Amino acid sequence: MPELPEVETVKEVLKKELLNQKILDVIVNYPKMIEQISVEDFIKNLKNQVIIDIKRRGKWLLFELNDYFLLSHLRMEGKYYIKNFDDEVTRHQHVIFKFKDFELRYNDTRKFGRMYLLKKNNIYNTKPLSELGYEPWDVNLNIEYLKSKYKNKKNPIKTVLLDQSIIVGIGNIYDDEILFLSKINPYKKASDLTDIELSSIINNTKVVLEKAIKLGGTTIKSYTSSEGVHGRFQNELLVHTKKECPICHNKLNIEKINGRSTYYCANCQK
């Protein structure tokens, strides 16, 4: 499941292939994937646009074109494949972008991914990007900021860390890793966290995500960032998917918190 490091990896892989390439045609096999505008307009507006840059904001991929930004959220299983024209189109390849010498195919088994095509001006102040909180490395992400955001949050910190309007990029896997490194029990109410705990969360978010980016993300089950690209961070996971605490060797708790499977050590995380 793509979280920030996986999207960062996809971005880098796609930049190598797609910069300065002109979109010649687009095929949409699953219209619900396109938000806000009709498939007809989506295709019409994309034709002849050149990919000037590819950026990332939170878990969103941003394809910068001449006149638009194409936003793509991979959600659970979205992947981009570079294919030849005559490669077989499988049932999970929902959007196909045709370039001069190859095709870019958006593949998504569960069809949860979404795309927006937005006029270029002011995209960071337009939904969906306007709803996002700080990047983990933003200097504005500090204890005072988290305190103000968490003040009225009675939900478990496990749940609140997933809230993209506060900090972007954390998904269910890295959430568990961050809380383990911070020695914080996932059930602890966000509003009850001390300054030291908030500081730990800020630091460990950066530590975990930076390391995952260096290793090309995490490959669990079906998720690969791009065809043939496998992350290696899964080898570094401390608690998520694990059975035993790497520090005290107690058996890890595996429980559902607000519907999300959560791995933690009840002994080390207070």
* Token pair 């060797």: residue: 249
Q: What is the β-pairing status of strands 53-57 and 68-73?
A: unpaired
Least gap, CB of 162 to DNA (angstroms): 6
DSSP character for 4? H
175 CB-near residues (< 8 Å, 6+ apart) = 158, 161, 162, 186, 260, 262
Stretch that binds DNA, among 10-18, 37-45, 96-104, 147-155 (CB under 7 A): 147-155
Radius of gyration for the chain, computed over Cα atoms and rounded to the nearest angstrom? 20
In the stretch 174-213, what mask flags binding to DNA with x, by CB under 7 A? ----------------------------------------
In 3D space, the residue among 116, 215, 208 whose CA is nearest the CA of residue 161 turns out to be: 208
Site residues for DNA, 105-144, by CB under 7 A, read: 109-112, 128, 131
Closest contact distance (angstroms) between CB of 177 and DNA is 13
Is 260 labeled as catalytic in the residue annotation?
yes
Reading the block at residue 254, the tokens are: 């595996």
Q: Is 237 in the site for DNA (CB under 7 A)?
A: no
Nearest to 226 by CA among 100, 77, 95: 77
Measured CA to CA, the distance from residue 118 to residue 270 in angstroms comes to 45
Residues 214-233, interacting with DNA (CB under 7 A): 222
Q: Select which of 59, 79, 158, 188 is catalytic.
A: 59
Which residues of this chain interact with DNA, rule CB under 7 A? 1, 32, 58-59, 73, 75-76, 91-92, 109-112, 128, 131, 152-155, 159-160, 162, 164, 171-173, 222, 256, 258-261
